[in-house]
Amino acid sequence: MKSIFLIGVGEIGLNQIRWAQDAGFFVITSNMDPDAPAFKLADVGVVLSGSDTRSLVGYALENQERYNILAVYSGNDFGVFSASCVAQSLKFPSPSVAAVSRGLSKTLMKTCWSHNGVPTPSFQMVRTETEARQCAELFGMPIILKPPDSSGSQGIQVIEKIGELEPALDRAFRYSRRDQMIIEKHVDGRHIDANAFFWDDRFYATGLSERYFSPIPYRVPIGGYEPAILSIDEKDMVNTVFEKATRALGINQGPVKGDFILNSEGIHVIEVSARFHGDVGTCHSTFYRTGHSHLQAYFETLFTRRVPFQLIDDIASSTRISGWRVLDLPEGYSTDIRRVISKCRELDGIDDVFIRPRRPAVASHLHNNNDVVGFVWASGKSKQFVDAALDGFNAELRENLNFQ
């Protein structure tokens, strides 16, 4: 028996349990909710928060021999640090805790890149409105404000006028435990997401996608497509810079995800972390498009100790398009919408619909990812077909809601 410890598996990421089992693993999973759906699929369930590093490490050490735990994975930022500590404690090949920490701190990340010649937007750390105003004058408007330790787009705002700084800083500090904020030169362009993993210190690119965001000032992902439509040279450039940015942080083992902006000036690295991109893409879009996922390729590598090149090639060579969008609900509408979803999901091209278990009670303007009620996916042979399916779904959803 070979076991893998999957930390923090939520309802939208259940496929990772099935894929780990398909690869041959006995699956141990953790979730802070004792009624989590993941526990019905996993071989063993552990009621622990993904951020409870001490308890997770203790459990892994106590049960390593019993279950022959040989691998660990977390697909979210709340569990990545814990996964790194488990790996180090059980002596798995993994990036160091310091390297993973750099990928979780926007401050450490960008400082490291600036010292290693990695192209990233100019930035400064500020504590006060006065410092922020000086920074805005240096960079020119617009600028983007980021809490250095937040996730899920919380506290991130694009600022176009000096008068917006004070209230924006007040909001941003609500999402941070730090006494500093990042002010970054705002760079516009195409938002490209990349996935890859390291094995034996070699970098294996596993796919590129494109994301779209809500209108400023808030920057919440509202849709995307896979694969990203790029030239061969553009793909090579993204993956080359991706590897350089990741190695600059000290990450040279396991999964990695990167966020980039492409424009006429070139490529700009926004973020890198020691995991794959979120479950919206990793556990859904890639699978609907190709019938496989880069996470499957990684799990197979962990189990067999060999990279499945054919599987990676099959994913890369697929010409199908997958797209996703957040559910488009009228602001102020109650989000108890499960009863109308069944009719809408039968539309041609729709792959799946997901309603977040801890969704907000009432639909509102999107300030961060926590305001998103759910997602819908569609796939087909062309972007036009996918767009028509997603547009049709949201139109049908709104029409049905109007009659409730």
The per-residue pLDDT for range 178-222, each reduced to its tens digit, is: 788 888 888 999 999 999 999 999 999 999 999 999 888 888 899
Flag whether pLDDT at 394 surpasses 70: yes
For residue 403, is pLDDT > 60?
no
The residue count for the chain: 404
What span, in angstroms and rounded, lies between the C-alpha atoms of 325 and 312? 26
Q: Is the pLDDT of residue 152 over 70?
A: no
φ, ψ of residue 378 to 5 degrees: the values are -145, 155
In a shared domain, residues 206 and 299? yes
What is the span of the domain harbouring residue 135?
122-185
> pLDDT band for position 402 (50/70/90)?
low
CATH number, domain of 26, equals 3.40.50.20
Same domain, yes or no: 250 and 139: no
Asked if 259 and 339 sit in the same domain, the reply is no
Is residue 270, in this structure, part of any structural domain at all? Answer: yes
Assess if residue 58 is contained within a domain: yes
The number of CA neighbours under 13 Å toward the Cβ of 222 is 16
pLDDT in tens, 307-354: 999 999 999 889 999 999 999 888 887 777 877 787 777 778 899 999
* Lowest mean per-residue pLDDT among 121-135, 265-279, 334-348: 334-348
- Tell whether the model's pLDDT for residue 404 goes beyond 50: no
Evaluate whether residue 281 is within a structural domain. Answer: yes
- 122: tokens are 């100019």
Residue 368: both structure tokens together: 């961060």
Residue pair 92/254 in contact by the 8 Å Cβ criterion = no
Q: What whole-number distance in Å separates Cα of residue 222 and Cα of residue 373?
A: 11
203 with 162, same domain? no
In a domain, 190, yes or no: no
Per-residue pLDDT at 159? 86
- Give me the CATH number covering residue 243: 3.30.470.20
Please indicate, yes or no, if residue 21 is contained in any of the structural domains: yes
Q: Which residues of 349-375 are buried (b: 16+ CB within 10 A; e: fewer)?
A: bbbebbbbeebeeebeebbbeebbbbb
**Amino acid, single-letter form, for residue 7:** I
pLDDT at res. 67: 97
Mean pLDDT value across residues 285-308: 96
Q: How far apart are CA 295 and CA 301, in angstroms?
A: 10
Question: Residue 333 sits in a domain of what CATH number?
Answer: 3.30.70
Same-domain pairing of 300 and 348: no
- Count how many domains the chain has: 4
What share of the chain has pLDDT > 70, as a percent?
99
What's the chain's average pLDDT?
91
Q: Are residues 180 and 199 in the same domain?
A: no
Q: Say which DSSP state 214 is in.
A: P
Last residue of a domain, one of 268, 284, 316: 316
219 in a domain, yes or no? no
Statement to judge: residues 107 and 239 lie in one domain: yes
Residues 7-45: tens digit of each pLDDT: 999 999 999 999 999 999 999 999 999 999 999 999 999
Distance CA 276, CA 18 (A): 17
Same-domain pairing of 110 and 235: yes
Do 160 and 146 share a structural domain? yes
- The predicted model gives 95-103 an average pLDDT of 93
